[in-house]
Amino acid sequence: MQLIPITAVDEDLSVRMECDAEMMRYIGGPRPEADVRATHKRRLELTEKGLAHMFKMVADDSGEVLGTVGYWKIDWKGPQAYEMGWLVLPEHQGKGTATLGARLILARAGADPDVSAMYAFPAVNNAASNAIARKIGMQLQGEFNNEGFAGVLRCNDWRIDLD
Ligand SMILES: CC(C)(COP(=O)(O)OP(=O)(O)OC[C@H]1O[C@@H](n2cnc3c(N)ncnc32)[C@H](O)[C@@H]1OP(=O)(O)O)[C@@H](O)C(=O)NCCC(=O)NCCS
């Protein structure tokens, strides 16, 4: 798998994933298309400022897009904290795609001097996502009410130190 930086041409990929009820089942449900398009542009602005690092996961052999993975700066429990996230298209789920993508992101973030700690906040009932956090070596800190675009979601707080 290769990680290829997300650009403006990937806006429709964001819409395909983030307007889909099944994909968004544990992340607050499908979002309005206009919101997703605006969010895509905002992510690109954060990327230009070095505050977000967003990638497509692309299969080495077929060149097919498998999903997206990335990390972005957050204001959480001290300086130099980042959150990572992963989304895999339905036809590529259940094959280790997200786990591999997450490992590749951790390797990148480990080489990034601005990253001290990496967090992931899957909903407590998102079994696949919690399994990924555990498998890549994150430590469970506990649960919290995560307030975001989706309202309040009960999430796990997973952390790994990258100093
Ligand atoms: C969560 C998601 C990224 C997992 O992607 P994936 O490529 O299928 O994950 P993997 O194949 O690497 O599997 C990860 C682990 O989850 C388990 N898993 C996969 N699908 C599962 C499911 N539906 N229920 C329970 N466990 C599941 C796998 O068995 C694996 O654990 P194991 O190795 O201990 O068996 C994918 O389902 C997805 O994109 N969901 C919608 C978006 C989302 O919820 N993103 C996460 C937000 S925090």
Tokens of 100: 């591999």
* Probe residue for ligand 1, chosen from 25, 26, 87 as the CB with the greatest number of ligand atoms within 8 Å: 87
Query: Do the Cβ atoms of 151 and 30 come closer than 8 Å?
Result: no
pLDDT at 151: 86
Which of 3.30.413.10, 3.40.50.280, 3.40.50.720, 3.40.630.30 would CATH assign to domain 2-161?
Answer: 3.40.630.30
pLDDT at 133: 98
pLDDT at 148: 82
pLDDT at 163: 84
Cα-based angle 84, 102, 42 (whole degrees, multiple of 5) = 35
Q: Which protein residue's CA is at the shortest distance from atom 34 of ligand 1?
A: 131
pLDDT tens per residue across span 103-131: 999 999 999 999 999 999 999 999 999 99
pLDDT at 99: 98
Q: Can you give the pTM of this predicted structure? A: 0.95
Residues of the chain with pLDDT under 50: none
pLDDT at 87: 98
Ligand 1 centre distance from Cα of residue 76 (Å): 25
Domain ranges in the chain are 2-161
pLDDT at 138: 98
Query: Do the Cβ atoms of 73 and 81 come closer than 8 Å?
Result: yes
Q: Which protein residue's CA is at the shortest distance from atom 22 of ligand 1?
A: 128
Ligand 1 centre distance from Cα of residue 49 (Å): 30
